[in-house]
Amino acid sequence: MNNVDTGYCPITGEKVLSSQSVRNTLTLMHSCGMYDYSGSFAFKVGLPAKSAVSGLILLVVPGIMGLSLWSPALDRMGNSVRGLAFAEQLAQRFNFHKFDGVVRHDRETEKMSTSDKSRCSTCRCKHHHHHHTESDR
């Protein structure tokens, strides 16, 4: 069982948070956990995180892992400079952004033509009108 965002203690297996509490906490982290940089962080990284003026960033990749990033040099908004850089590179490298699937699907379907009879590997649908680029219409 993956305990990252389930509310269970990873050591004892005991349920310590309700599912609703986990959902609410991750939602708050995603929307306002990075001080005034929260909106930009949501666009660039797309993961729940909580920053502290000590240089700590708690970052959650839902269903996969939780990370603690610490580097005391802060930017003007009070976030760890290296922690932000690491989070951005991690999300980019491993496509962890919450909406990466949308972008990946769009890029893949733009390349398809009307004569392509295979299935889209993201949504597994047969190619319909929305899979065509402007030049294919």
Mean pLDDT of all residues in 27-47: 96
pLDDT-based confidence at 44, cuts 50/70/90? very high
What are the structural domains of the chain?
Answer: 19-97 (3.40.710.10), 101-136 (no CATH)
Whole-angstrom CA distances from 25 to 6, 7, 11, 95, 106 are 12, 11, 21, 22, 30
In sign, the C-alpha dihedral spanning 99, 94, 1, 67 is negative
Residue 98 · residue 107 · CB < 8 Å: no
At 6, the pLDDT band (50, 70, 90 cuts) reads confident
pLDDT of 118 over the 60 cut: no
